[in-house]
Amino acid sequence: MAALTAKVTDADREFIAKRLNLNEKKLFYGMNLPDQHHALNVAYTAIELAKNYPTVDKEILVRCALLHDVGKQRGDVSTWDKIITVIAHKIFPAKAKAWGRPGRGSKVSNLRHAVYLYFHHPMRSAEMLLAIGTEQKIADIIRLHHTAPLDDDSLELIILRQADDLH
Ligand SMILES: [Fe+2]
Ligand SMILES: [Fe+2]
């Protein structure tokens, strides 16, 4: 998890403005600051990693990196619920996944919602992006960013996973 002191600088904002449209920016800035910071770091690292792969579509890759976690929106999950979720996943991954359920309300529902999002945010990110008209190719890559690698994974997906793992 990114530091709680995470900042988004003017240079970062400019970087984002060049690559995301208005609705995508709304989703980006709708994330918590640490998640915004994480997405920026993934994008910068992806650009570095892409230097080893001349055929990669860098524009698609960077847009994927900036948008891959937008399914995690601010106010949806408290920091505390997020911490409990990460611990639960470490101790009993399968049970945690099955216990998750979407929908906020009581304290327990909020925790189940946090657990649900932890496992399902790639799907949710993809759905939110398709709903605002982002390219299918980007949604498809983002949907698979925590899925185990397959032989026919695109280069952009492979690099996104690598960069995500480093942050
Ligand atoms: Fe993710
Ligand atoms: Fe991520």
Domain boundaries, the chain: 10-76+126-165
Q: Which two tokens stand for residue 51?
A: 């230097």
- Predicted pLDDT at 122: 96
- What does the block give as tokens for 103? 């929908």
The tens digit of pLDDT for each residue in 105-117 reads 999 999 999 998 8
pLDDT score for 36: 97
Query: What is the whole-number distance in angstroms between the Cα of residue 6 and the centre of ligand 2?
Result: 15
Nearest one of 104, 139, 99 to 123, comparing CA atoms: 139
Q: Provide the pLDDT for residue 22.
A: 98
Confidence at residue 141, expressed as pLDDT on a 0 to 100 scale: 98
pLDDT in tens, 60-98: 999 999 999 999 999 888 888 888 998 998 998 889 989
Which ligand ends up closest to the CA of 141?
Answer: 1
Environment class of 69 (CB within 10 Å of its CB; exposed 0-12, middle 13-18, buried 19+)? buried
Ligand 2 centroid to Cα of residue 2, in Å, is 10
Question: In Å, what is the CA distance from 25 to each residue of 15, 36, 67, 140?
Answer: 11, 11, 9, 19
pLDDT, mean of residues 39-63 = 97
The rounded percent of the chain whose pLDDT value lies above 90 is: 77
pTM of the model: 0.89
Confidence of residue 3 (pLDDT cuts 50, 70, 90): low
* Nearest in space to 112 (alpha carbons), one of 143, 78, 67: 78
User: How far apart are the CA of 106 and the centre of ligand 1, in A?
Assistant: 25
Q: How far does the centroid of ligand 2 lie from the alpha carbon of residue 72, in Å? A: 10
Give residue 165 CA to ligand 1 midpoint distance, Å: 9
Q: How far is the CA of 55 from the centre of ligand 1 (A)?
A: 24
Backbone angles phi, psi at 112, to 5 degrees: -65, -35
CA of 133 to the centre of ligand 1 (A): 20
Is residue 14 over pLDDT 90? yes
Which pLDDT band holds residue 7 (cuts at 50, 70, 90)? confident
Pair of tokens at residue 78: 């408290």
4 pLDDT exceeds 80?
A: no
CA of residue 161 to ligand 2 center, whole Å = 8
Residue 166 C-beta-side C-alpha neighbours within 13 Å: 17
Query: What would the mean pLDDT of 150-166 be, rounded to a whole number?
Result: 97
Q: Mean pLDDT in the chain?
A: 93
